[in-house]
Chain A
Amino acid sequence: MALATEPKVTSQTTSTGRPKQPGVFRRIFRKKITIVAVAFLVIVALAAIFAPFIAPYKLNSPDLMAMLAPPSATHLMGTDDVGIDLFTEVLYGGRVSLTVGLLSALVAVLIGGTIGSLAGFFGGWVDEILMRLTDVGLSVPSLFIILGLTAVLGPSPVTIVEVISLTSWMYPARLIRSRILNLRTAEYVMAARMTGCSSARIIFVHIVPNAISPLIVNATLLVGQAIVLESVMSFLGAGIQPPHISWGFLLNQAQSYVTNAPWLAIFPGLMIFLVVLCFNVFGDAIRDALDARSA
Chain B
Amino acid sequence: MPLFIIRRVLQAIPVIFGISLLLFFMMHAIPGGPLAMYEHQPGMTKELLAQLKANFGLNEPLWVQYWKWLGGAVTGNFGYSYTYGVPALHMVLQRLPATLELMVSSYIIAVIISFVIGVVSATKQYSFTDYTLTIFSYFGIAMPTFWVGLMVLVIFAADLHWFPAGGMSSSGIGFSLTDRIWHAVLPVSILAIYQIAHESRYVRSSMVDSLGEDYVRTARAKGLKNGKVVWKHALRNALLPVTTVMIMDGAYLFGGALITESIFSWPGMGRLFAQAISTDDYPVIMCEISLLSVIIILANILSDVLYAYMDPRVRYD
A residues bordering B, Cβ < 8 Å? 1, 3-4, 132-133, 135-136, 138-145, 147-149, 151-154, 224, 228, 231-232, 235-238, 251, 254-255, 258-259, 262, 265-266, 269, 272-273, 276-277, 280-281
Contact = CB atoms under 8 A, between A and B. Distances in A.
Given A1-B248, A152-B26, A280 B150 contact: no
Given A265-B151, A269-B147, A259 B296 contact: no
Contacts of A231: 144, 146-147
B144 A262 contact: no
B213 to A, nearest CB: 16
Interface of B: 14-15, 18-19, 22, 26, 29-31, 138-139, 141-147, 150-151, 153-154, 158-159, 201-202, 205, 245, 248, 251-252, 254-255, 258-259, 262, 273-274, 277-278, 280, 282, 285-286, 288-289, 292-293, 296-297, 300
Given A144-B289, A238-B277, A273 B143 contact: yes
A4 B277 contact: no
Nearest to A251: B147
Main secondary structure of the interface of B (DSSP, over half): helix
Contacts of A153: 29
B78 to A, nearest CB: 13
Contact of A151 (B14, B18, B259, B285): B285
Contact of B158 (A145, A238, A259): A259
A3 B245 contact: yes
A135 B282 CA distance: 25
A236 B26 CA distance: 20
A229 to B, nearest CB: 10
A231 B143 CA distance: 12
5 contacts: A141-B251, A142-B255, A145-B22, A228-B144, A277-B139
Contacts of A152: 26, 29-31, 282
A151 B142 contact: no
Contacts of B288: 144
B152 to A, nearest CB: 11
A179 B147 CA distance: 37
Contacts of A138: 300
B26 A133 contact: no
B255 A149 contact: no
Contact of A280 (B18, B141, B248, B252): B141
A269 B151 contact: yes
B170 to A, nearest CB: 20
B289 A136 contact: no
Nearest to A4: B201
Contact of A232 (B30, B141, B146, B300): B146
Contacts of B158: 258-259
A4 B244 CA distance: 13
B273 A224 contact: no
A141 B280 contact: no
Nearest to A278: B142
Contacts of B245: 1, 3
A269 B146 CA distance: 9
Nearest to B288: A144
Nearest to A132: B14
B293 A141 contact: yes
A39 to B, nearest CB: 17
A182 to B, nearest CB: 20
Contact of A224 (B142, B153, B286): B142
Contacts of B300: 138-139
Nearest to B300: A139
A33 B237 CA distance: 34
Given A224-B142, A265-B150, A151 B277 contact: yes
A235 B296 CA distance: 25
A221 B29 CA distance: 31
A251 B146 CA distance: 9
A133 B18 CA distance: 7
A136 B15 contact: yes
Interface centre among B144, B150, B255, B288 (most CB of A within 10 A): B144
A258 B258 contact: no
Contacts of A232: 144-146, 259
Nearest to B299: A139
Contact of A132 (B15, B202, B248): B15
Nearest to A128: B14
A94 to B, nearest CB: 15
A148 B142 contact: no
Contact of A266 (B151, B153, B277): B151
Nearest to A146: B255
Contact of A141 (B15, B159, B292): B292
Chain B CB count within 10 A is highest, among A139, A152, A236, A262, for A139
Contact of A236 (B15, B138, B141, B262): B262
B151 A140 contact: no
